[in-house]
Homo-oligomer: A and B are copies of this chain.
């Protein structure tokens, strides 16, 4: 067992170190290259993926004998994969039982299992990429990166934070209190990390691994058995991950039920019964504000960590690179058809226009610059498909239609040519006045953005930061050449608890959030109550049991 820890400890220590330096680093290469992953890995794992389809996917976990699951690909394919069905109460019981020996394992044993699991998951990145692609609708390259190495890095980051937190306290100490002329009082003390209980991780359909690994690994290495409840439309990526985890657990001599899958369907959901189970003591949730609120209110004494949703904003005051700005924004709006929790929705611009390197531009000209950049970016259908991917949920298409009626349509959404059988939609951009809060002051999930005419830059910043504070935001961007304006926005967003990206014009986007460096979600506004990953995300998942023993007196 401890071989796993030994084998991977340098990776762990580098992750701990980078989480404190917050410079760039990655343990898992994001380049889908045969040189890195093996020349036949891509084809082999595609074949493996296809071999999984249309069959039961057995994990060997407790079951009521039935099979469940009804995933369909946003690219049009029936997946036909089914999973062991089980009553939530039985699942919780099996989890509790498996947790007993897991609780007694050493920190190094548990962390070693997690590191080996991540390593094996990494080697299956092409398999998982196919599973992520055909559940979330992400284009293949994004599914590989965001569903593979980037998600693995977020998992490792959680392991690193948890390891660091658990090892702040020594396992034992001799405590010696001087007593003046008398002999000192001496106590031998031992400190043991003890878990909370059964942990539940509720995943989402758009990032089935990236948003699930952090909570799963954080609870897992701190000694809690984990039940993973993926979104009913995106089970397979986690089923594969759990299968790998259960194998490593078995090899290490643990009950594989430390990791359990709770598969369900939209028609017969299991989430509420799991959330309200007494034995569930930790819940990680990714999803809507409405259901997030229900989870927070019905979790009893369980700790709850949420990533919900918000309205992300861009504020434009001025720029010295109009074309760079417009094309950067266009890419941010297009990537995965605006289905990222980090996609900007609202673009606040003074109605009198902005100063640029190309002279003063009116509000309409700014809107047009973004439209032109979108058209250029998405003009070639093959490139458009590779950037946009497919639309995960049919309801998103309805929202796009509805958005067109909320203001002046600058650019309308269209399906992508050649993506036969897939749900596809390019971004729509709608101009509205800042007074029309009904239009833009709520999340309209998908490739839907508003360009909003404001009184002036102060009004724009106040609305952008204000909406983050009141409705939540996971990202924010600002374009300005004026340091005083930047300072003002920095203060406003610190107050609103949203991370701010300033003057991005190059090959880096407001949507991107890098492990070990960017705190994803601040936990300081309604977009979520926790950050992936920081000290608070891990520190309360375990407690410390102390044993004090009077040392033999002289």
Contact = CB atoms under 8 A, between A and B. Distances in A.
Contact of A535 (B165, B189, B190, B192): B165
Interface in A418-443: none
A268 interface: no
B495 A519 contact: no
Given A168-B20, A170-B21, A550-B505, A545 B194 contact: no
Given A301-B529, A504-B548, A539-B540, 17 more contacts: A20-B169, A24-B177, A104-B491, A194-B494, A196-B524, A493-B545, A500-B545, A500-B546, A500-B547, A501-B547, A502-B547, A504-B550, A506-B553, A531-B543, A531-B544, A536-B536, A539-B539
Nearest to A169: B22
Contact of A545 (B296, B499, B547): B499
A125 interface: no
17 contacts: A23-B174, A24-B175, A165-B535, A169-B534, A185-B506, A185-B507, A187-B508, A192-B494, A194-B497, A301-B529, A499-B548, A501-B547, A501-B549, A504-B550, A522-B544, A536-B536, A540-B540
Contacts of A546: 499-500, 518-519
B539 A524 contact: no
A465 B549 CA distance: 18
A174 B546 CA distance: 41
Interface string A131-151: 000000000000000000000
A191 interface: yes
B502 A168 contact: no
A414 B386 CA distance: 84
Q: How many copies does the complex hold?
A: 2
Contacts of A506: 185, 550, 553
A479 to B, nearest CB: 11
A402 interface: no
Nearest to A166: B535
Contacts of A187: 508
Contacts of A173: 21-23, 517
Interface string A99-122: 000011000000000000000000
Interface in A482-517: 490-491, 493-495, 497-508, 514, 517
A262 B434 CA distance: 42
A435 to B, nearest CB: 26
A344 interface: no
A127 to B, nearest CB: 26
A544 B498 CA distance: 9
Contacts of A192: 494
A536 B539 contact: yes
**Considering residues A176, A494, A514, which has the most beta carbons from chain B within 10 angstroms of its beta carbon?**
A494
Nearest to A178: B24
B547 A175 contact: no
A350 interface: no
Q: Which of A175, A176, A296, A514 has the largest count of B CB atoms less than 10 A from its CB?
A: A175
Contacts of A539: 534-536, 539-540
A175 B514 contact: yes
Interface in A158-214: 165, 168-170, 173-179, 185, 187, 189-192, 194, 196
A523 interface: yes
Contacts of A169: 20, 22, 534
A534 B544 contact: yes
A175 B22 contact: yes
B535 A168 contact: yes
Nearest to A502: B549
Given A189-B22, A549-B503, A550-B504, A524 B174 contact: no
A517 B191 CA distance: 10
Contact of A497 (B176, B503, B545): B545
Contacts of A549: 501-503
A540 B540 CA distance: 9
Top 9 A-B pairs, shortest CB-CB distance: A536-B539, A536-B540, A535-B539, A494-B545, A524-B543, A499-B546, A24-B177, A502-B549, A501-B548
Nearest to A519: B544
Contacts of A21: 170, 173
Interface string A1-31: 0000000000000000000111110000000
